[in-house]
Amino acid sequence: MTAGDAKAPIYRDTRDLTPFGHARLRTPVRELADGVGGLIHGVLGGRDEALISVDGDVPRLKRLPGKAAKAVHGAIFTSREPERLITVGRAYPEWAGLCYIMAGLLAYKHGSYLRASELLQRGLSTRNDDDANQYASTYLTRVVTRVELAERIEVPVLFSEEAVFLALAHSLRETGHTEAALESLAALPPSLPSALARCALAHSLGRDKEVVIWTDGLLNSDDLSAALLLVRARSLRRLRAHSKAQETLKEVLRRRKTDLMLRNDALTDGALLVLENGRKSLNPLGWLRGRPAELETFEVIRKDVEERRLWEQDWKQLGGD
């Protein structure tokens, strides 16, 4: 299935447990606070910000006591750069796929999007053996990747298929491969985070009809759904479905606890809709005809007056009254 094959909404997640945490909306003030918080955390002896993120303590290796497991475990949780994980993957080819994926997630955390996309794609195309898969399902469940779904909107994702593909999609988007980024998300199960990422990419590619289909029936239940409704409204506006776009923006503003940034975006988009509709609403007849017609009419009147003046001048010269 390609990214454009869906004929129904893609945001309804029926799973009881998902790997997603609460969405975060980035602003300059919050970014500054996060930076200060990270410095304080480091001074107080917390986990190094350069390391892979973990929810809680690093799990202790109790099972799979082989050399490969020990080497991979140490590389995952103590590496500050992807190189060590790449080296371990080459030393233990049966674990190489997992090592490349973790190296890609570490590069993604550091903002090295080109390298992250290369490592993640290589890891996904390299098969692991059963020991590596068992290790991942046992010891990596607390690994967290903070993924940017759309501009200014992030969500923490536990180690999973979603974490890997959403990070890959964002990395591809940042390196200019928007079409490939959209395709990489096509196989993910329905969820609000993946729907937001897909719709934001589809909107940037001009696939507005698909965005409208994928978001049909969506209500504002949280900030992620509000952000997705904003994408829907912008696609509707570009399709010139202004009344539906206005209804969608009203749904964003309906929930009072919607983040202020999203509410401001909805008000701005609403003002743009008013401006686009304003020409017709202020003077429908005049604006439907357009200003060139008014100027043309004025030129015709001015020409008639001039011709009559010349005619009267000629008449007087002929001795007329």
- Helix 161-174 to helix 113-125 angle (10° resolution) is 140
Cβ atoms of 156 and 224 within 8 Å: the answer is no
Distance, CA of 88 to CA of 90 (rounded, Å): 5
Residues 99, 116: Cα–Cα separation, whole Å: 12
Express each pLDDT in 37-85 by its tens digit: 444 444 444 568 999 999 999 999 886 578 999 999 999 999 999 999 9
What is the C-alpha separation between 48 and 39, in angstroms, rounded? 10
Single pTM value for the model: 0.81
Closest to 149 in 3D by CA, of 255, 228, 33: 228
Q: Which helix (H) or strand (E) holds 148?
A: strand 144-150
Residue 117's closest CA among 183, 23, 38, 49? 183
Cα Rg of the chain, angstroms: 29
How confident is the model over 278-289, as a mean pLDDT?
A: 49
pLDDT bin (cut points 50, 70, 90) of residue 186 is very high
pLDDT tens digits, one per residue of 100-115: 999 999 999 999 999 9
CB 259 within 8 A of CB 223: yes
Domain boundaries, the chain: 290-317
Average pLDDT of the segment spanning 155-167: 98
Residue 293's pLDDT is 37
Tell me the C-alpha to C-alpha distance, in Å, between residue 278 and each of 133, 232, 268, 284.
59, 22, 15, 9
Q: In this structure, what are the phi and psi dihedrals at residue 149, rounded to the nearest 5 degrees?
A: -80, -40
Residue 283 pLDDT exceeds 70: no
47 in Cβ contact with 143 (< 8 Å): no
